[in-house]
């Protein structure tokens, strides 16, 4: 349920109304100030809230029941699109967030070389896996803490913020200290205990869609984080599981307008994991930007043939540079910037 206030409501009147609603109905208030609207989102059990009684207050313009189970992620609660601050950069807004780097950190030379090349091409963030979730227990699992140290070295040289995946809450303190954007992978999208812990920290979270998750399930996972107090959530579509076997997954570009309608959270697209084929990345990256995505996360490796993980879906630095040139053209058409 949301309460829309009259435009001329003063700060003191707003605070009085919020306290009155909280005390009377035992709900929490989520305040959102848009360009033209001030909204109070009622979070909790709203079954006993009397909308007619609320609307009797001359400073309350209208009361709207929210059917969707996600509240804080709902655009009704927050009409303006969110922009997530990451240092001096943002994800969301006019500027597109381009996140690039290898699937796995393999050595200092590799990650530093890739970081330098993607930065030169215009990427704003460095991605790299230190802890790797793999289907097979015998596959390369990442360099773990050593990998984090190598990512920090690459950041020191290039200044690019680090985006890397957290696997377990036992490493949360280390990630809060060392990582700029904490990625939660598809397998952990519904690890609710982990999501609750992420709600307690002040750090941007890149939440990847589960391989079989509906849009509502995806947004409810974001809600777990936001309900704990951390509203710095970035959604990521990385392909879903369908009957198709030609590609690694099936990229659902329809999720972009769906999220834009339902939620205020930014959404980025991962065409590398969605297809599993490097030669598809360019076309789907352009399509994602044209469809309204707020950014891309793209795998780039300086020697894909020898990569320890997912070389078949990684662009070479020269290919990424060519892609960035093309993306700037698409961005200009949709009035975005890279």
**Which sequence spans correspond to the domains of the chain?**
2-64, 84-333
Give the pLDDT confidence score for residue 328 in this predicted structure. 96
| Residue-level pLDDT at 251 | 97
**Burial bucket for residue 5 (CB in 10 Å: 0-12, 13-18, 19+):** buried
Q: Which two tokens stand for residue 209?
A: 């869609």
Q: Which two tokens stand for residue 12?
A: 């003191």
CATH superfamily of 84-333: Aldolase class I (3.20.20.70)
Predicted confidence at residue 7, as pLDDT, reads: 87
pLDDT of residue 242: 96
Q: Which residues contact 20 (CB under 8 A, 6 or more apart)?
A: none
What per-residue confidence (pLDDT) applies to 250?
97
Cα distance between residue 188 and residue 190, in whole Å = 5
As its CATH architecture, domain 2-64 has 2-Layer Sandwich (3.30)
Is the sign of the CA dihedral 259, 260, 262, 263 positive or negative? positive
pLDDT at 255: 98
Position 281 scores a pLDDT of 97
Give residue for tokens 């974001």.
Answer: 222
- pTM, two decimals, is 0.89
User: Which tokens go with 119?
Assistant: 């930065």
pLDDT score of 47: 80
Helical spans, DSSP H, in the chain = 11-25, 51-55, 108-121, 145-158, 172-178, 192-198, 215-227, 255-262, 271-275, 278-291, 317-333
Q: Which helix (H) or strand (E) holds 97?
A: strand 97-101
User: pLDDT averaged over consecutive 10-residue blocks of the chain (338 residues)?
Assistant: 90 91 90 83 86 91 88 91 95 96 94 97 95 71 87 96 94 95 96 97 97 96 96 97 95 98 98 96 97 97 88 95 97 94
Task: Note the helical H segments in 126-191.
Answer: 145-158, 172-178
């Amino acid at each position: 349920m949301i309460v829309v206030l009259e435009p001329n409501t003063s700060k003191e009147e707003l605070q009085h109304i919020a306290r009155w609603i909280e005390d009377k109905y035992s709900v929490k208030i989520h305040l959102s100030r848009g360009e033209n609207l001030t909204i109070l989102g009622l979070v909790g059990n709203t079954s006993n809230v009397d909308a007619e009684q609320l609307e009797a207050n001359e400073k309350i313009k209208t009361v709207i029941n929210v059917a969707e189970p996600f509240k804080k992620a709902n655009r009704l609660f927050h009409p303006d699109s969110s922009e997530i601050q990451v240092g001096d950069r943002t994800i969301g807004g006019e500027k597109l967030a381009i996140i690039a780097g290898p699937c796995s950190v393999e050595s200092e030379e590799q990650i530093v070389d890739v970081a330098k090349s993607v930065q030169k091409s215009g990427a704003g963030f460095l991605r790299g896996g230190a802890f790797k979730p793999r289907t097979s227990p015998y596959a390369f699992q990442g360099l773990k803490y050593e990998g984090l140290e190598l990512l920090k070295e690459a950041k020191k040289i290039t200044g690019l913020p680090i985006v890397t995946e957290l696997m377990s809450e036992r490493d949360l303190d280390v990630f809060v200290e060392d990582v700029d954007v904490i990625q939660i992978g598809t397998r952990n999208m519904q690890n609710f205990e982990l999501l609750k812990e992420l709600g307690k920290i002040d750090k941007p979270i890149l939440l990847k869609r589960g391989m079989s998750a509906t849009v509502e399930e995806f947004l409810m996972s974001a809600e777990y984080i936001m309900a704990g107090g951390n509203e710095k959530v970035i959604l990521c579509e990385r392909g879903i599981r369908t009957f198709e076997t030609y590609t690694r997954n099936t990229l659902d570009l329809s999720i972009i307008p769906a999220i834009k309608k339902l939620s205020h959270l930014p959404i980025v697209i991962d065409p590398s994991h969605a297809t599993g084929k490097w030669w598809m990345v360019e076309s789907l990256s352009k399509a994602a930007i044209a469809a309204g995505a707020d950014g891309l996360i793209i795998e780039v490796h300086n020697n894909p043939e020898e990569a320890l993980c997912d070389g078949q879906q990684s662009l070479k630095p020269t290919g990424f540079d060519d892609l960035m040139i093309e993306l700037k053209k698409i961005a200009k058409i949709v009035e975005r910037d890279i």
